[in-house]
Amino acid sequence: MKTSISKTILLIVAICTGLFSFSQDFQGKAHYMSKTTMDLDQWGGREMTPERKKEVEARMKKFLEKEYILTFNKTESIYEEDEKLEAPGSGGGFGRFGSSFTGGPKYKNVKTKEMLQDQEFFGKQFLIKDELKGLEWKMGTETKQIGQYTCFKATATKTVDKFDWRSMRRRGPGQGSKNDDKEKAKGKVAKDSTKTSDDPMQDIEVPKTIEVVAWYTPQIPINQGPDDFWGLPGLILEVSADRTTILCTKIVMNPEEKDNIEKPEKGEEVTQAEYNEIITKKMQEMREMYGGRRGRGGGRRN
Task: Tell me the CATH number at 61.
Answer: 2.50.20
Domain assignment of residue 66, given as a range? 2-168+206-270
- Cross-strand partners of 167: none
Identify the pLDDT of residue 195: 44
Identify the pLDDT of residue 94: 47
In a domain, 294, yes or no: no
In a domain, 197, yes or no: no
Q: Which helix or strand (DSSP H or E) is residue 41 part of?
A: none
In a domain, 121, yes or no: yes
- Cross-strand partners of 197: none
107 in Cβ contact with 76 (< 8 Å): yes
Q: How many domains are there within the chain?
A: 1
In a domain, 281, yes or no: no
Residue 281, exposed/middle/buried by CB under 10 A (0-12, 13-18, 19+)? exposed
In a domain, 182, yes or no: no
What CA–CA distance (Å, rounded) separates 41 from 203? 15
Strand intervals (E) in 74-190? 76-81, 106-109, 114-121, 124-131, 138-146, 149-159, 169-170
Identify the pLDDT of residue 286: 77
Identify the pLDDT of residue 302: 46
Identify the pLDDT of residue 83: 76
Instruction: Provide the 10 A C-beta neighbour count for residue 237.
Output: 25
Instruction: Provide the 10 A C-beta neighbour count for residue 73.
Output: 17
In 3-state terms, the chain is what percent helix, strand and coil (to 5)? 30, 30, 35
Cα four-point dihedral sign 46, 35, 77, 111: positive
Which residue type sits at 69?
Answer: I
Identify the pLDDT of residue 260: 86
Q: What is the pTM of this model?
A: 0.75
How far, in Å, are 156, 174, 227, 276 from residue 161 at the CA level? 16, 24, 14, 9
* SS3 label, residue 69: strand
**Mean per-residue pLDDT pooled into runs of 10, the chain (302 residues):** 55 50 75 86 65 71 88 95 64 49 86 94 90 94 95 95 71 50 46 45 76 96 95 97 95 86 92 88 78 53 46
Cβ partners under 8 Å of residue 219, min gap 6: 14, 17, 18, 149, 150, 234
In a domain, 302, yes or no: no
In a domain, 193, yes or no: no
In a domain, 184, yes or no: no
